[in-house]
Amino acid sequence: GAGVSQSPSNKVTEKGKDVELRCDPISGHTALYWYRQSLGQGLEFLIYFQGNSAPDKSGLPSDRFSAERTGGSVSTLTIQRTQQEDSAVYLCASSPVSGRSYNEQFFGPGTRLTVL
Amino acid sequence: AQSVAQPEDQVNVAEGNPLTVKCTYSVSGNPYLFWYVQYPNRGLQFLLKYITGDNLVKGSYGFEAEFNKSQTSFHLKKPSALVSDSALYFCAVRPKGSGNTGKLIFGQGTTLQVKP
């Protein structure tokens, strides 16, 4: 079946602009994660959604970052007033909460964000 | 603080030789342990996981990993390396217990270079 998809694959923006990054998880996966991969910081957890539970936002680096998940499926990560240090690859992952692949996170190809 | 260490930025090995990529962790309790691989311009691909049971775990592409509780290590191994194994490898842990949402804590990554 289809894997996790993310769009756009690349995004170049100017400092101060807002950006939206989209993630389509694997159908039926109720858990969804956002991570950020940058040269200096490695892979960092940003936010986690699970069903109708309150999201775990503990990894969001500032209040310029927000995310939502509509209808328990597609998720959007929004970065307001982008800064150059926001430049990174943003990875989305989804996970089933039961079955053989329980505990495994399936990653999308990522969105490479460049802030000029 | 919970952390994962991959002490080698890069591992070089000749094709056909055995390879080891090291990982140690500092997490309370008995976490779930994972290895992921990332090829250039691609997302992370799941290799293997340790949940419970036999300390030697076998995964995709002939890779295996050995869980050592006393040393809090989870080293990745392969008996005979291939040039196509050249990639970036990440060790990750998922702490267990209440309040843990399943987010992964990643090591900094180790670049594996297999030479013909």
Give the tens place of pLDDT for each residue, A39-57.
877 899 999 998 888 889 9
pLDDT > 90: percent of chain B:
77
Task: Give the pLDDT of residue A67.
Answer: 96
- Give CA–CA dist A8/A16, Å, rounded: 19
Tell me the residue type at A96: P
Query: Are residues A31 and B90, on separate chains, in Cβ contact within 8 Å?
Result: no
Residues of A in contact with B102 (CB under 8 A): 31, 33, 48, 50, 95, 103, 105
Show Cβ contacts of residue B110 under 8 Å, excluding neighbours closer than 6 positions.
B6, B8, B9, B10, B11, B21, B22, B88, B89, B90
**Average pLDDT for A91-102:** 84
Mean pLDDT over each residue of chain B, to the nearest integer: 92
Tell me the pLDDT tens digit for each residue of A76-86: 999 999 999 99
Q: How near does any CA of chain A get to the CA of B42, in Å?
A: 5
Task: Give the pLDDT of residue B99.
Answer: 59
Contact B5, B24 (CB under 8 A): yes
Q: How near does any CA of chain B get to the CA of A18, in Å?
A: 24
Query: In chain A, whose CA is at the least distance from the CA of B51?
Result: A103
**Average pLDDT for B60-66:** 95
Nearest Cα residue to B9 out of B17, B19, B1, B21: B21
pLDDT > 70: percent of chain B:
97
**Average pLDDT for A54-73:** 91
**Average pLDDT for B35-41:** 90
Contact A2, A61 (CB under 8 A): no
> What kind and span of H or E run contains B79?
none
Number of helical (H) and strand (E) elements in chain B, helices listed first: 0, 12
Query: Are residues A104 and B46, on separate chains, in Cβ contact within 8 Å?
Result: yes
Residues of A in contact with B36 (CB under 8 A): 107
Query: In chain B, whose CA is at the least distance from the CA of A55?
Result: B101
Full strand arrangement of the beta sheet holding A75-79: A5-7, A19-24, A75-79, A65-69
Nearest Cα residue to B109 out of B8, B2, B3, B1: B8
| Burial track B62-72 (b if 16+ CB lie within 10 A, e otherwise) | ebbbbbeeeeb
Q: Which tokens go with A32?
A: 């969804």
Q: Which tokens go with A43?
A: 């892979």
Q: Give me the residue from B49, B101, B105 closest to A104, CB to CB.
A: B49
- Give CA–CA dist B45/B33, Å, rounded: 14
pLDDT band at B6 (very low <50, low <70, confident <90, very high): very high
Instruction: Tally C-beta pairs within 8 A across A and B.
Output: 53
Show Cβ contacts of residue B18 under 8 Å, excluding neighbours closer than 6 positions.
B77, B78, B79, B80, B81
Residues of A in contact with B37 (CB under 8 A): none
Query: Are residues B101 and A103, on separate chains, in Cβ contact within 8 Å?
Result: no
Query: In chain A, whose CA is at the least distance from the CA of B94?
Result: A103
Query: Are residues A45 and B105, on separate chains, in Cβ contact within 8 Å?
Result: yes
Tell me the pLDDT tens digit for each residue of B64-100: 999 999 999 999 999 999 999 999 999 999 987 655 6
Tell me the pLDDT tens digit for each residue of A14-26: 999 999 999 999 9
pLDDT band at A1 (very low <50, low <70, confident <90, very high): low
Nearest Cα residue to A2 out of A31, A26, A32, A29: A26
Nearest Cα residue to B91 out of B74, B72, B66: B74
pLDDT band at B101 (very low <50, low <70, confident <90, very high): confident
Using only C-alpha atoms, chain A has a radius of gyration, in whole angstroms, of 14
Task: Give the pLDDT of residue A42.
Answer: 82
For residue A48, what are the CA distances in angstroms to A114, B9, B34, B40, B111? 23, 29, 18, 26, 28
Query: Are residues B103 and A33, on separate chains, in Cβ contact within 8 Å?
Result: yes
